[in-house]
Amino acid sequence: MAAEVLDGKITAAKLTEEVKKEVAEFRERFGIGPGLTVVIVGEDPASKVYVSRKHKACIDTGINSEVIRLPETTSQEELLATIDRLNGDQAVHGILVQLPLPKHIDAEKVLEHIRPDKDVDGFHPVNVGNLCVGRENLVPCTPYGIVKMLEMNEIAIEGKRAVIIGRSNIVGKPMSMLLLARNATVTVCHSRTKDLAAVCREGDILVAAIGKPQFVTKDMVKPGATVIDVGINRVGDRLVGDVNFADVAGTAGHITPVPGGVGPLTIAMLLHNTLKAAALQCK
């Protein structure tokens, strides 16, 4: 039996269509569009691709988009000064500093410098704290997109066992909070987890956010489980996830592909968060 493939492009297109309508209403009401500014430091080729995708998605949705490109040699002070300016700019409702940042810059300091109500990534400690206490305000785009994907495909979360591999601040931790809030029983695994395969096999929902190409194999998957692949790994000229798709597809009930799974949803949720941030600031 082959798993049903969850098409992230279709789900993302539906979500984007909704945001587009609300953006038009926002423009009508306030006379300006929601505005996103993305700051990219340095020349990382993958980052450039993601940033141009985000920019295009904004333009297609009616969101004002500006990209600030700073050289690799930008100092931390210069970057913080740029954020100060954006924090005070009324036309900028969302600020996203593309990660990773060059090594000489303290990313944590930078993310904490963004005004929480403009933090469309949901990485600021204030937004993280809100999420932890059950107030979902500006929620990290990738895990939020995964929840939307499950909901729109009518995959139940309540009462299910959810296993997350990876405990990053960007995916694993916020994912655990979102699933817990929806009444899943959540286990977060990481590099020190003992008997990882056995733990993973308990998951009705298995989220792979490890950063290792094709790490998840069928012996780690409960038959019929929903497998969500958050990985994006470039292997030669091919793009593969953290899940060995061909191996797992025979065991899983649902599975997301890479590309075309979680990635497009991340961008759709960024649009959603930008609109939300604009609404917070203009009400």
Ligand X SMILES: Nc1nc(=O)c2c([nH]1)NC[C@@H]1CN(c3ccc(C(=O)N[C@@H](CCC(=O)O)C(=O)O)cc3)C=[N+]21
Residues binding ligand X (CB under 6 A): 49-50, 53, 96-99, 121, 141, 232, 239, 258-260, 263-264, 266-267
Per the CB < 8 A criterion, the answer to whether 163 and 280 are in contact is: no
Task: Choose between 117 and 121: whose C-beta lies nearer to ligand X.
Answer: 121
Catalytic residue from among 54, 173, 222, 276? 54
Cis omega before residue 34 (within 30°)? no
75 is in an annotated binding site: no
Q: Which two tokens stand for residue 264?
A: 């497009």
- Determine the 3-state secondary structure of 18 from DSSP: helix
Closest to ligand X by CB, 130 vs 266, is 266
Supply the minimum distance, in Å, between the C-beta of residue 22 and ligand X.
Answer: 21
Is 167 labelled as part of a ligand binding site? yes
We find the least distance from the C-beta atom of residue 99 to ligand X, in angstroms, to be 4
Structure token digits, residue 52: 């141009």
Calpha distance 273→271 (Å, rounded): 5
Contact present, 261 and 239 (Cβ < 8 Å): no
| Min dist. Cβ of residue 239 to ligand X (A) | 6
Helix (H) or strand (E) holding 30: helix 8-30
Per-residue 3-state assignment (H helix, E strand, C coil) for 168-226: CCCCHHHHHHHHHHCCCEEEEECCCCCCHHHHHCCCCEEEECCCCCCCECHHHCCCCCE
Give the residue nearest to ligand X (CB): 263
Catalytic residue, chosen from 98, 204, 214, 242, is 98
Q: Which is nearer to ligand X, 199 or 232 (CB)?
A: 232
**Hey, what's the torsion of the CAs at 42, 46, 48, 50, to 10 degrees?**
-130
Smallest separation (angstroms) from ligand X to the CB of 70? 14
Instruction: Out of 117, 121, 229, 242, pick the active-site residue.
Output: 121
Cβ–Cβ under 8 Å, residues 254 and 226: yes
Min. distance of Cβ 183 from ligand X in angstroms? Answer: 27
Q: How far apart are CA 39 and CA 51, in angstroms?
A: 9
Question: What does the block give as tokens for 68?
Answer: 């600030």
In this structure, the number of other CB atoms found within 10 A of the CB of residue 70 comes to: 16
Measured from the CB atom, the residue of 11 and 130 that comes closer to ligand X is 11
Active site residue 54: yes
Q: How many CA atoms lie within 13 A of 165 on its CB side?
A: 33
Q: Flag whether 232 is marked binding.
A: yes
Distance CA(235)–CA(31), nearest Å, equals 46
Question: Annotated catalytic, 98?
Answer: yes
Cβ proximity to ligand X: between 50 and 215 the closer is 50
Q: Which residues contact 1 (CB under 8 A, 6 or more apart)?
A: 250
Note if 90 is an active site residue: no
Q: Binding site, residues? A: 166-168, 232
Question: Which residues have a catalytic role annotated?
Answer: 54, 98, 121
Q: Binding site for NADP(+), residues? A: 166-168, 232
